[in-house]
Homo-oligomer: A and B are copies of this chain.
Amino acid sequence: MTYLRPNFRHPDAPTNRIGFTEKDYEGALSTLCAGCGHDSISSAIVSACFELSIEPHRVAKLSGIGCSSKTPTYFLSNSHGFNSVHGRMPSVTTGANLANRDLIYLGVSGDGDSASIGLGQFGHVVRRNLNMLYVLENNGCYGLTKGQTSATTDLDSVNKAGVNNPFEPIDLTKLALQLGATFVARSFSGDKEQLVPLIKAAISHRGFAFIDVISPCVTFNNNPGSKKSYDFVREHCEATATIDFVPMQEEITTAYEPGSTKEVTLHDGSVIRLQKPMTDYRPDNRHAALEALHRAEQRGEILTGLLYIDEDPSDLHDTLNTVSTALNALDEEALCPGNKVLQSINRSFR
């Protein structure tokens, strides 16, 4: 079901420093719903990697399970990818990174994948400061299993099945800050102007970089107040009780200035208020970042942008003091102590 894009390459397409066109960073055709925020993120990843002139095959893409976790198929088709099991991308990425410190690790996850089943692994990969970019494609619901609430769903929002969410959402940026993440940012899937530079910065960061990307699920994330044009159709679907009609939607895009607040209307008519910190906001204080998040929240705003960065962290390989050669590149020579040593070990057992 995964279609490979036609391999047509435009002769005048601009190339980057190492001679690749943006097309070289693309993946298979997406099978997500039309207008899904996750697709916008994939395209931001493509742009960021192109602009950074990364060799595509030096990236490893890892994910859990969910619509979001499917996306690594839809970018960087010359990279190896690993769509693992639900909620466990962090551990798989940790192992991969330990095996070969020389690649770039790009982990993609959903809010269900990270904040529900994966909360434990999320907390611990942060704590270990694994050198990776962790992209949370946060749509506040379970897309792939048809719209249940997740742990980041807003309080009192109503899902497709008409169930009201009675729980406070978990804000993973706060948790990441609390647990010692060395790069924490938030953005909006449709805000390429903000998202692409953040991804670039995160990839360049030598340590754990977390980006919480608000990414609207056009199909299931419907807030209650919504009174949009397709009421008739919606009622129709409700009556038939099969959630199998997904109207075609357009990608939601936005752009706004640092220091400003922007209201973004989602497909269902609900509105979120995104806020970019002032240009003089200095993301060098973990505690201040938590403060800023807290204040924005009190104003009903979602603070976006780079919230915190520790510019010189020590990553897991530093902590473990591993050799600079990738562990997967060591051979018998380097690894096997040989029979002579073994015989002396035998002596210790006599």
Interface residues of A (CB under 8 A from B): 116-121, 123-124, 127-128, 151, 166-168, 170, 174-175, 178-180, 287, 290, 294, 319-320
Contact = CB atoms under 8 A, between A and B. Distances in A.
Contacts of A179: 168, 170
A85 to B, nearest CB: 15
A350 B118 CA distance: 43
B119 A167 contact: no
Given A178-B178, A287-B294, A294-B287, A168 B127 contact: yes
A124 B128 contact: no
A71 to B, nearest CB: 24
Contacts of A178: 174-175, 178
Contact of A167 (B118, B127, B151): B127
A287 B175 CA distance: 14
A319 B128 contact: no
A168 B168 CA distance: 27
A316 B105 CA distance: 39
The 9 closest A-B CB pairs, nearest first, are: A120-B120, A119-B120, A166-B319, A119-B123, A168-B180, A127-B167, A174-B178, A287-B294, A178-B178
Given A117-B120, A123-B170, 20 more contacts: A116-B124, A118-B120, A119-B119, A119-B120, A120-B120, A120-B121, A120-B123, A123-B123, A124-B151, A127-B151, A127-B167, A127-B168, A127-B170, A128-B167, A167-B319, A170-B179, A174-B178, A175-B175, A287-B294, A290-B290
A337 to B, nearest CB: 20
A2 B166 CA distance: 43
Contacts of A151: 124, 127
Nearest to A319: B166
A166 B178 CA distance: 17
19 contacts: A117-B120, A119-B123, A119-B124, A120-B120, A120-B121, A120-B123, A123-B123, A124-B151, A127-B151, A127-B168, A127-B170, A128-B167, A166-B320, A167-B319, A168-B179, A170-B179, A175-B175, A175-B178, A287-B294
A61 B180 CA distance: 34
A32 B82 CA distance: 45
A174 B174 CA distance: 11
A53 to B, nearest CB: 34
Nearest to A118: B120
A123 B180 CA distance: 17
A120 B166 CA distance: 19
A335 B175 CA distance: 42
Nearest to A295: B287
Nearest to A175: B178
A6 to B, nearest CB: 43
A120 B170 CA distance: 12
A215 to B, nearest CB: 22
Contacts of A123: 119-120, 123, 170
